Chain A
C-alpha cells in the first residue's frame, strides 16, 4: 500500500503579510491533495477600518500588502468616489495610472526574479531584481517612499509629478524597455525553462472561471478579463494599450503574460506622461466635503488581479462596513487544481505561479512523514529539489 505523506509549506511568520500553511498530501513524489490554513496573523483590517475616518482608511488599506501597496488605496478611492459622486481631475487620473503601472512593473519583476530562483535560474533572479531597483527609486523621487507611497485620497492624489520628475520617469522607462526585451527574450527562448514550466501547473479556462480567479492567473488561461479595460477608472480609457492573454494556462503562460504586460505598462506610463504635460500643474485634487449615506463597490486591477472593496456608509466619517477582497484570496484556491497530480519538485513553481506573496513563508516550509512525524524536507530543500530538477534537464540535454 502506498503511504501518504503530508508536506506542510508555511506559515508562522508574524512579519509576513500573508502567512499561510499549505499541506501537500503526497504519495511518493506525486501530490494527491492540497489543503490550506490561514488565520495565523488575522489583522482584522475590515473591523479596524470601521473605527477610522475615511482619510485614515487610506493609510490602513495601504498596509494590507507590502508589495502592491497602492492597489488597495486605488480600489478604495474608486469606491469612495462612487459614493461621494465625484470624479478626479485629469491630472490626478494620469498620476494615479502612472503610480499603478509603476507598481505593476516592480511587482512583476519581483515575481519573475523569484520564479527564476525557484527554478534554479539565479541569473534571472539577479537581473529582474536589478531592473526593479530604478522603479523603486522613481517611487522615492515621486512620493518620498520606496514602498507605501501615500499618494491617494478621495477626489485626487496627494502629490504632484513635476516637469523634472516627468523627465526622470521618461528616461527610466526608455532604459527599462531595452532591459525588458532582454529579460523577456532570455526567459521565453530558454529550452530548459520551457521544459520546467510548459505543461506544469495547468489551469484550464473552466478551472479559473469556477474558482473566479483574476489577473494574470485568469488571463494566462485564456479568460480575457481586466478591470482596467472592462470598467475603466483613472486614465486607462484615455490611453492606448491592450490586454495580454495566453491560452495554455501553465506556469510558462503565466510568466509570458506578466513579461508582456510589462511592455504595456511602460506604454501606458509614457502616454500618461504625455497627458500630464498637457494638464495644468498642481490641479491634482478636488474638495470633497462630505460622504453621504450609501453603498459603493470599487475595484482596481492590481498586479495579481482585481482588488475589490465594498463600503457601506451612514453619513458619518467612518465606514459602517468595509469588505476587502484581495486577488490572492481567489487565486490561491486554484492550487487545488494546479498542484494535484504534479510532482513535489514542480509543486514549488506551481504554487509560486499565481504570485501569492510567497517569498517569506517559503523559508519556513518543512515536510514530515505523516506516520512517524519524522522530518523529511524543509523549505530550502524543497527549493533545492526544484533547482536540482532544472540541473538534471540541463545535463540531459547538454545545455
Chain B
C-alpha cells in the first residue's frame, strides 16, 4: 500500500480521531491522533491493514508528554508514526499490551522513565528499574536533575 492510500485509509476510518496527517519524507508518514482512541486506531492498523508494531518513543516537551507509536508496513516499507500528546499533569493512556503482547515491555519502560500511566496493562510491574530507582522520579523528564 503506498503512503497516499495509507493516509486515505486512516482518514476515512477515523475522520475525527485522526486530527492531521503529513508526509515527513518518502516512505515516512506522521499522523496526529486523539489519545483516547489509540486502541481503535492500533487495532485497525494491525488487524485490518496488516501493519507491524515496531516500538513507541516517548519524550517530554512543552506540550506535555508526547508518544510516537511507530508502525511498519513491511509490504511497502512505509513507516507510519501515530503521534499523541498527553497532559503533563496526568499522562494517561490506554495500554496496547492486551492486543499487542510486543507492546508490553515498552509501555512498562515508558512508565518508569517518564511516568506515563498505561491503563489496563496486563503486567504493570517494573521492567528496568526494579529496586534501583526512587519512586516517582522520572529520569527522562526534562526537569530531572541527575
A residues with CB within 8 A of B: 37-39, 42, 44, 46-47, 82, 85, 209-213, 225, 230-232, 294-295, 297, 299, 306, 308, 310, 312, 320-321, 323, 325, 329-330, 333, 336
B-chain residues with CB within 8 Å of residue A299 when the two chains form the complex: 54, 72, 79
User: Is B53 an interface position by the 8 A CB rule?
Assistant: yes
Nearest B residue to A312 by beta-carbon distance? B59
Indicate whether A42 sits within 8 Å of B129 (C-beta atoms), given known contacts A297-B70, A323-B57.
Answer: yes
Chain A residues positioned under 8 Å from B129 (CB to CB): 39, 42
Distance to closest chain B CB from A310 (angstroms)? 4
Q: Is the CB of B55 within 8 A of A308?
A: yes
B55:A323 contact, CB within 8 angstroms: yes
Docked complex Cα distance between A231 and B28 (Å): 11
Residue of A44, A47, A297 contacting most chain B CB atoms (<10 Å): A297
Q: Which of B81, B102, B127 contacts A39 (CB 8 A)?
A: B127
Interface majority SS (helix, strand, loop, mixed), chain A: mixed
Interface residues of B in 59-103 (CB under 8 A from A): 59, 68, 70, 72, 74-79, 81, 100-103
Contact of A333 among B28, B52, B104 (CB under 8 A): B104
A47 with B139, Cβ < 8 A, contacts A297-B81, A308-B70 known: yes
Q: Besides A46-B140, A209-B52, A230-B76, 6 other CB < 8 A contacts?
A: A37-B130, A211-B102, A231-B79, A297-B28, A297-B79, A308-B54
Is the beta-carbon distance between B102 and A213 smaller than 8 angstroms?
yes
Contact B139 A321 (CB under 8 A): no
A321 in contact with B59 (CB, 8 Å)? yes
Given the interface contacts A210-B100, A212-B100, A310-B70, does A230 sit within 8 Å of B128 by beta carbon? no
Closest to B71 in A: A212
Binding site for A on B (CB under 8 A): 24-25, 27-28, 30, 52-55, 57-59, 68, 70, 72, 74-79, 81, 100-106, 126-130, 132, 139-140
* Number of A-B residue pairs with CB-CB distance less than 8 Å in the complex they form: 86
Name the residue of chain A whose CB is nearest to the CB of B57. Answer: A323
Selected from A39, A44, A320, A330, the residue in CB contact (under 8 A) with B59 is A320
Q: Are A333 and B102 in contact (CB under 8 A)?
A: yes
Question: Within 8 Å CB of B126, what residues of A?
Answer: 39
Could you tell me the distance in whole angstroms from the C-beta of A376 to the nearest C-beta in chain B? 24
- In the assembled complex, the Cα of A225 lies from the Cα of B54 at a distance in Å of 12
4 nearest interchain CB pairs? Answer: A212-B102, A231-B77, A323-B57, A39-B128
Known: A38-B127, A295-B24, A320-B59. Contact between A211 and B70, CB under 8 A?
no
**Are B132 and A230 in touch, CB under 8 angstroms?**
no
* Cα–Cα, bound, A42→B131 (Å): 12
Q: How far is the CA of A310 from the CA of B83 in the complex (A)?
A: 13
Q: Tell whether, in the assembled complex, residue A82 and residue B28 are in contact, meaning their CB atoms are under 8 Å apart.
A: yes
- Distance between Cα atoms of A374 and B24 in the complex (Å): 58
Q: How far is the CB of B3 from chain A (nearest CB, A)?
A: 12
A46 (CB) vs chain B CBs: closest residue: B140
Cα distance, A38 to B132, chains bound together (Å): 11
CB within 8 A of A306: which of B28, B54, B81, B103?
A: B54
Write the nearest CB–CB distance from B67 to chain A, whole angstroms.
11
- Chain B nearest Cβ from A301, distance in angstroms: 12
B53 touches A212 (CB 8 A): yes
Take A209-B52, A308-B55, A325-B54 as given contacts and tell me if A38 and B128 are in contact as well, using a CB distance cutoff of 8 Å. yes
Check if B77 sits within 8 Å of A230, measured CB to CB.
yes
Distance (whole angstroms) from the CB of A357 to the closest CB of chain B: 17
The chain A residue with its CB closest to the CB of B144 is A47
Q: Which residue of A lies closest to B126 (CB)?
A: A39
The minimal Cβ–Cβ distance linking B122 to chain A, given in whole angstroms, is 12
A42 vs B140: C-alpha distance when bound (angstroms): 14
Docked Cα-Cα span, A307 to B59, in Å, equals: 20
Instruction: Give Cα distance in the complex from A312 to B27, angstroms.
Output: 17
